Structure 1
């Protein structure tokens, strides 16, 4: 039985669960992990990248995350259309393509030098994706050489997007061969070896979606000595699919224990990359494939972003790049032309929690229940913030349960702490449908500027302990 006490909260009848007790270690526990300043980063679909640079929200949303974290998010420019793109050094525009409908992605496109001029103006590390599927190494090398010459912020180059999904008829597939992880690995090795003398050792390897058949740990031995040309390894991941009419499930997506289970798969590839002295990224990820389906613009998906980032880090992923697809046809996108999407609230909230001084991150719950509790530790070793998330699914009907979390051993023996709450009327609430989604009372306008009055709640410390209440489908940050 969940409910033991019924109370009124903001006009909604809430069922209060039995209290959970969480003790905060005074120093990072052995399970704590390091946190990259650009842990939450962004992937921009290749053909749409120039248009993203024209949106005010792009600059403002990236700057807002950077202001919270003390460093700008990294950017990956790539996706399906990078393997449809041909470099034209004489093209005056950044990209050139035609589509029957503005919501479509082009079947083919060309891009020119100004594409990289735009990329050179981004504030964070930039990874550029280039075409490998069409097997035109000379063309991709020309693009790589120009990017390397003008981009001081160039971090890595990615040769091909999700090669595990190439068809047997793709030009890169050798005649008489069956496309497989070993054949692709030999191709990656050959391309890295051919291009490195001109552009350096800055390639991003793997870039696979089909785990575990295709994996970083499987690619590394195939690369052999060519691994010296690799700077980073990347995997792609989407917990659910919205392709071809596939059904999606929001309660499952946002469930804390299911997120813990799903992200555990990243550990082996991360360990393989780190064992080779390389970083491991989720170079493209989001809630559901093919733009996101009906679950991705919801508040539940925002809560998923928050919990998913932290679980990715705890499984030793160095950075997670959240993909932004076709502008105007992308339900999981953080922002677009006319609004900031609900998922961005989760990105902003987890960035607020990690802050600009988080050296270590730890999960304090056991990962099997609905309620998650995390601690962020400063480089001094002291805990600075807690994040509490109640992943119980609330769809807006009936009573809304509430988890009570008792936290003893707060370092300040008396006084109070402040709490900031991420909340909405339900897990299905959507900003683009007028829902009141807020972080400490504020929202983002279409330009990704904060509106409203920022507020925090004051929680009294009694006997060195505090108690917080978190409604179903809600989260909060405790500032210690």
Structure 2
């Protein structure tokens, strides 16, 4: 008779080896490729090592300029509407929430909670939209095999983008509710709109029941980029704004008849992406007809696309050539110019106007741009420009492993036992915006058009509590010599303002810095960082660095230097500083116990299904491609195999 240990290996070794070979040989991502040259890299986009060349120093760059600030809010012409620190939020693709948020309502991703706590402590709350292309095909079901809360269903949805059909259970809404209870997240959700003859209102019924009472629900999007429906094969080629108007009315009528949806004034529309202008929808009588049902007016916009690389459609874009277009103040101004009329209309009708989904480029972004410090500065400037133009919020999109622009990315499942999260360059932008507006909910912002409108050195003033509270000064230029560092000298009151001198004796300054706009990971906010690939648990690391700058009250001036490249957040009062800076940030435990007879301590992310992996091929993929989606049955069996391997390995160890 074989010894017990030998018998174990005879029975289990072939299974374990087969599982390991199947899983690890087919995943095009591993430590062996982490340092590959960008041109030869074949792994997941989220970890692409491509580094671009920063643009040269522009000729004639002014490095010194003055700023005159009014001493009271009432004296400032052109201030924005009141803004919240949660202005920059996140749009998370529905199909990856079990990777990013947690696998069920009791098993939450700790790094995600920590990342949201960072924003909550600065802004008071966090705004997140769950949706995207995958919301359109999502169907609420009572349960799924293996007890999972969601799965991608096999089959062709007929969408050019190969979007998978999603099945999910009410556990998804319970998960969102539990996250909100911990870190004050408020949610936008999406009602499926792919078949208005057979509406599926389950997400609104359960969402209202779970999230509305505690105040965690913001609204329901009706239609994700309807102006692209015809191009994607989801509607006839003749589909027009008037068709959308009629179908929206079908949803309004159905909600009115549904007693399980008590809140009926929180719909979000039209969420057009630029193929239709918002005015094309407004001209149908949309706002006046549905005013009582609308909670928010919204659009979605990406300044460019990488769809040729993703799907073979459109025009190829060379990231190196495109990089400079993201590195100046005009980038944000040009994006929102088509929407200024609509923000004015929104103010007239008393509706918030949202940028519900955006990022550096659609179809996953660009290597070397979307994951660079240049994108950090771009998103900061773009976000503040939207706020100064009376948007009420904007959501930076989060996809799967195969996109370049994620603010944060969990590790692939096969690496989650030894790798942490990767925090993207663009996440830092949301921290700075949260602190720039603070937690009062009454901050107002204005683009100062500093340095005679020089596009490489923009600046904004934020007013609150009746007076100037903060400044944001930026420098898009890369120059390690220091010759392109800029010095802004500001005065509060005095001069020609007709007001008394108001410049304080000193100000506090926080710096957003990196060696170059091309830098991916050596990025710091007030001296702290999230590190490089696979290095973060969602908490800032390092020693906090806050500069105190002495001002000259005899001349009513104060000078602040901004490195090239970088940004400075200047706190003009102690009250403004206190309102934006947490004394402490809540963090969360990082281990959990299995509910088996052999209880082993396992990192929560070990049990998560993979981002965009297919149960049949185990390939990393984009969240919007059905061909790379999870097969429901195979995803469950593959995950169980991984858990068995992990637990057995721990027991043997």
Q: How far is 1:133 from its partner?
A: 1.5
The aligned counterpart of 2:173 is 116
Structure 1 segment 96-107 matched on structure 2, within 5 A: 96-97=151-152, 107=164
Give CA deviations for 1:184-228 in whole Å, capped at 9, x if unaligned: 121112222222332222211101102553557526614643331
1:262 aligns with one of 312, 335, 347: 335
The aligned counterpart of 2:226 is 163
Whether the 8 Å contact between 2:513 and 2:523 is mirrored in structure 1 is: yes
Structure 1 segment 123-162 matched on structure 2, within 5 A: 123-135=184-196, 137-138=198-199, 140-152=200-212, 153-162=216-225
- Provide the aligned length of Structure 1 versus Structure 2: 451
Relative to its length, the structure with more strand (as a share) is 1
Q: How far is 1:272 from its partner?
A: 2.2
Q: How far is 1:362 from its partner?
A: 1.7
Whether the 8 Å contact between 1:233 and 1:279 is mirrored in structure 2 is: yes
Relative to its length, the structure with more helix (as a share) is 2
Matched residues in 2 for 1:216 and 1:41: separation? 27
Give CA deviations for 1:383-437 in whole Å, capped at 9, x if unaligned: 1211111123x2x777762222121347666732222111101000001xxxx21
Given the two structures, how large is their TM-score scaled by the length of structure 2? 0.65
Quickly say closer, same or farther: Cα 1:53–1:21, change in 2 above 3 A.
Answer: same
Whether the 8 Å contact between 2:278 and 2:342 is mirrored in structure 1 is: no
Matched residues in 2 for 1:39 and 1:178: separation? 36
Structure 1 segment 333-348 matched on structure 2, within 5 A: 333-337=406-410, 338-348=421-431
Matched residues in 2 for 1:265 and 1:231: separation? 22
Question: CA RMSD for the aligned pairs?
Answer: 2.7
Matched residues in 2 for 1:61 and 1:40: separation? 14
The aligned counterpart of 1:5 is none
Whether the 8 Å contact between 1:97 and 1:108 is mirrored in structure 2 is: yes
1:331 and 2:440 aligned = no
Matched residues in 1 for 2:371 and 2:486: separation? 25
Matched residues in 2 for 1:156 and 1:261: separation? 28
Structure ID, larger Rg: 2
Q: How far is 1:287 from its partner?
A: 1.2
The aligned counterpart of 2:381 is 307
Structure 1 segment 34-73 matched on structure 2, within 5 A: 34-54=82-102, 55-69=109-123, 71-73=124-126
Matched residues in 2 for 1:235 and 1:273: separation? 12
Q: How far is 1:278 from its partner?
A: 1.5
Given the two structures, how large is their TM-score scaled by the length of structure 1? 0.87
Q: How far is 1:332 from its partner?
A: 1.2
1:297 aligns with one of 351, 363, 371: 371
Whether the 8 Å contact between 2:374 and 2:518 is mirrored in structure 1 is: yes
Matched residues in 2 for 1:216 and 1:25: separation? 39
Which of 29-38 and 73-82 deviates more?
Answer: 29-38
Matched residues in 1 for 2:307 and 2:279: separation? 23
Matched residues in 1 for 2:229 and 2:438: separation? 40
Give CA deviations for 1:93-135 in whole Å, capped at 9, x if unaligned: 32112689xxx98522211111211122233321111211133
- Three-state SS of the structure 2 residue aligned to 1:179 is coil
Quickly say closer, same or farther: Cα 1:349–1:315, change in 2 above 3 A.
Answer: same
Quickly say closer, same or farther: Cα 1:397–1:384, change in 2 above 3 A.
Answer: closer
Q: Which runs of 5+ in 2 are unaligned?
A: 1-59, 103-108, 156-160, 310-315, 411-420, 494-500, 573-653
